[in-house]
Amino acid sequence: MTEIGKLIGEAEKHMMQGQLSLAAEEYKSLHKTHPKIIRIVYNLGVIYYTLGKISESIYYLEKTIEIEPNYSLALYKLGIAYFREANFSKAIDKFTKIIEIGSDLYMAHYWMGLCYYHKGNSKKSLEHYNLLHKKTPKTTLGFYQKSIVMSSIGEHKNAIQCLKAIADENPATVTVQYHLGNAYLGLKDIKNAIKHFKKVLKMQPDHFGAKIKLNSLIVDNDMLYSYGIEEYDENIDLDEMTTNFHVGRVYKGLSLLDEAFRHFKERLKK
């Protein structure tokens, strides 16, 4: 083994042992005298990314693809680094290059979907999630992000299909159950929304979002009594109850109780 090979091996050993700062110093020293050895430059980019020093990571990863333009792993890391800096256009450029060279890093489509979503282009975002699922049909992460994009543009039924595909495999995923609740809420399917928010709280009792959503959907005792209902029943037509309930809730907050109860009871007349 050459002397430079031994030195690189020592730096890699420290890298593998988690001594990243030490490894970075060793690689930087080697980089000064051997700026074109791709193994040194790429590993510096990876180390700084792991350390959370994104600008330094980008510097060395860009140097890596100057040496080897089609180095797909460097392009992939670089795309994610630009994403973390919210530089979505540059991230898209790197992921596009990965796709163009025919790399098997199919998750480039996942990150492209995320980039376009953050740029406000839901159509392009969904396009890449669909391409990802053609390559890897059971990509759970892709289904999850795809469902969020669909919900954001009002495609709640399609979002539910994606989320159910994940829930069928792992029903105990809190975020999936929460987004299922949100998707059903988007469809104004109150009964199913409540069912999924309850599942969330069963798994994670302190889930703030689910608590807020349930509190907005399930009336408290005095409001139930105003409807002549002694306790919550899942068979109640909650969609019929909610319209005047929310108006009444505002009056209750203003301590205008007569007006509040008038609105709480309004739906009973119909």
pLDDT digits (tens, 9 = 90+) for 175-233: 999 999 999 988 878 778 888 998 999 999 999 988 888 776 665 544 444 444 444 45
Closest CA to 112 of 65, 140, 145: 145
State whether the Cα torsion 172-176-182-183 is positive or negative. Answer: negative
Helix (H), strand (E), coil (C) string for 171-238: CCCHHHHHHHHHHHHHCCCHHHHHHHHHHHHHHCCCCHHHHHHHHHHCCCHHHHHHCCCCCCCCCCCH
* Domain segments of the chain as ranges: 138-218, 220-226+238-270
How many whole angstroms separate alpha carbon 34 and alpha carbon 44? 13
Q: Give me 64's structure tokens.
A: 């890596």
Report which residue type is found at 174.
V
Question: Which CATH superfamily groups domain 138-218?
Answer: Tetratricopeptide repeat domain (1.25.40.10)
Mean pLDDT of 146-151: 93
- For 98-126, the pLDDT digits (tens) are 999 999 999 999 999 999 999 999 999 99
How many whole angstroms separate alpha carbon 14 and alpha carbon 30? 14
Rounded (5°) CA angle 241-244-250: 125
Closest CA to 165 of 193, 198, 136, 197: 136
